[in-house]
Amino acid sequence: MNEDHGPGPSPEGDRSYSLDVDRAPLTGDRVLRLTGSIDWSHSSALLAELVRAAEEADSPVVVDLAGLTFADSPLLHVLLDLQRTCRARGLPFHLSTDLHPVVERLFTVTGALGYFELTARRPGGV
């Protein structure tokens, strides 16, 4: 599933992110790749998309934020909600540690990395 949300107006504002959902060939993990930028105006739609993708998963869920060039605090809320959804389904939830410096700063300044299980492997099993 490749859902491109940019550019163009929508009821939630101008979407400038895309979500790709894949299965990692070596591990079988469900990989959710976000690219572009995410701010508060995207959080409701993004959460719905991520939860839908996670609900279809039957293996660990890995969120790859390497292609995300901007994010603010609503992303953290979205990821925490997604983590809760995965845990409720008994699925492991991981964040890839490969972060854009701007996104890494968001996690560092807020101390949010401590709330997630991190994986150093690149999603996709490569």
pLDDT digits (tens, 9 = 90+) for 12-40: 445 688 888 888 877 888 999 999 999 88
For residue 35, list its beta bridge partners.
18, 67
The domain that holds 103 is classified in CATH as: 3.30.750.24
Instruction: Work out the pLDDT band at 2, boundaries 50, 70, 90.
Output: very low
* Sheet bearing 118-119, strands edge to edge: 2-4, 17-23, 30-38, 61-71, 93-96, 118-119
Q: Print the domain residue range for 70.
A: 2-119
Rg (CA), the chain: 13
Instruction: Work out the pLDDT band at 78, boundaries 50, 70, 90.
Output: very high
121: which DSSP letter? S
Residue 112 domain flag: yes
pLDDT for the residue 87: 94
What share of the chain has pLDDT > 90, as a percent? 47
pLDDT digits (tens, 9 = 90+) for 38-61: 988 888 899 999 999 888 889 999
How many angstroms separate the CA atoms of 92 and 99, rounded? 20
- Residue among 32, 28, 70 nearest 49 (CA): 32
What share of the chain has pLDDT > 70, as a percent? 83
Residue 37 domain flag: yes
Residue 124 domain flag: no
Residue 75 domain flag: yes
**Total domains present in the chain:** 1
Residue 125 domain flag: no
Residue 126 domain flag: no
Which pair of tokens denotes residue 112? 């949010």
First to last CA, the chain: 20
